[in-house]
């Protein structure tokens, strides 16, 4: 069942998602060669605490980190730890915050130092795919319109869309209905209605779409070792245009 948010619930979603965007951007600005992923995780803890929130990821199904940090061939769900970020890495930071009973969720992938042209293209295409999906979050469209728009942008660029992980409805719970695959048919699926809040999050690989989970039971990596990027916004379905909630 897709939960429709009331106007006051939408206000609560606006608040927590604005906070989440702020933390995302502050963490993204810290990414540089020489910093460890745990330093980013610890900074996230402090930033979220100062805003009065808590990590929505920490403890979720036992996840041990404050945020997810995923480097290069890591797709999503990397656990902050000893890994040192190097020049030429791309670093995905996924941030989730609980505040006022609602959850914000957003991700960005940024360059550490100087990255090669293929990685530059990957970041540009994944962000463009997110924007194309978000643009379809309008009343009267169907869920498949979002999925199809994302897939079209990614595949036109010669990259592939991850199948195993998908976007999701979000609100009081991090993962509400509906699931939002980053591939699908336009004109199919549930109709989008006012009050729906959706986390749209393309995960895009330079190589093939296949991913596997490492022995830490969390970190998902590409099977072919190619680099992967991840961008995510939480949006409210709008009457004439989508309302992106994860803007700072």
Least CB distance from residue 84 to Mg ion, whole Å?
26
Cα separation, 214 vs 161, in Å, equals: 19
Identity of the residue, 89 or 94, whose beta carbon is nearer to Mg ion in the bound complex:
94
Contact 238, 198 (CB under 8 A): no
Identity of the residue, 110 or 115, whose beta carbon is nearer to Mg ion in the bound complex:
110
Q: Is residue 199 part of the contact set for Mg ion (CB under 5 A)?
A: yes
Determine which residue in the list 105, 145, 176, 243 makes contact with Mg ion, applying CB under 5 A: 105
What are the residues whose beta carbons fall under 8 Å from the beta carbon of 59, sequence distance 6 or more? none
Identity of the residue, 15 or 175, whose beta carbon is nearer to Mg ion in the bound complex:
175
Q: Is residue 89 part of the contact set for Mg ion (CB under 5 A)?
A: no
Number of shown-chain residues binding Mg ion (CB under 5 A): 2
Q: CA end-to-end span of the chain, whole Å?
A: 30
Identity of the residue, 115 or 166, whose beta carbon is nearer to Mg ion in the bound complex:
166
| Nearest to 219, CA basis, from 115, 127, 81, 49 | 81
- For residue 82 the two structure tokens come to 């000893």
Least CB distance from residue 111 to Mg ion, whole Å?
22
| Nearest to 2, CA basis, from 229, 192, 200 | 192
Q: Is residue 176 part of the contact set for Mg ion (CB under 5 A)?
A: no
- Return residues touching Mg ion (CB under 5 A): 105, 199
């Amino acid at each position: 069942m897709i939960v429709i948010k009331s106007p006051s619930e939408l206000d609560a979603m606006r608040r927590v998602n604005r906070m989440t965007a702020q933390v995302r951007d502050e963490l993204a600005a810290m990414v540089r060669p020489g910093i460890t992923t745990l330093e980013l995780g610890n900074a996230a803890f402090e930033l979220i605490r100062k805003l009065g929130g808590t990590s929505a990821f920490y403890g979720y199904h036992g996840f041990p980190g404050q945020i997810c940090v995923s480097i290069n061939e890591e797709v999503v769900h990397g656990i902050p730890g000893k890994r040192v970020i190097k020049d030429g890495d791309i670093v995905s930071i996924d941030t989730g915050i609980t505040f006022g009973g609602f959850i914000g969720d957003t991700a960005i992938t940024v360059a550490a130092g100087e990255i090669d042209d293929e990685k530059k293209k990957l970041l540009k295409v994944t962000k463009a795919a997110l924007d194309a999906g978000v643009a379809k979050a309008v009343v009267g469209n169907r869920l498949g319109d979002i999925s199809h728009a994302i897939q079209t942008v990614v595949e036109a660029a010669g990259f592939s869309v991850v199948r195993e992980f998908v976007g999701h409805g979000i609100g009081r719970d991090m993962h509400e209905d509906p699931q939002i695959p980053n591939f699908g048919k336009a004109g199919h699926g549930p109709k989008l209605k006012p009050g729906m809040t959706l986390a749209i999050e393309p995960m895009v690989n330079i190589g093939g779409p296949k991913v596997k989970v490492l022995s830490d039971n969390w970190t998902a990596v590409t099977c072919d070792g190619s680099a992967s990027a991840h961008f995510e916004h939480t949006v409210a379905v709008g009457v004439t245009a989508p309302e992106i909630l994860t803007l700072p």
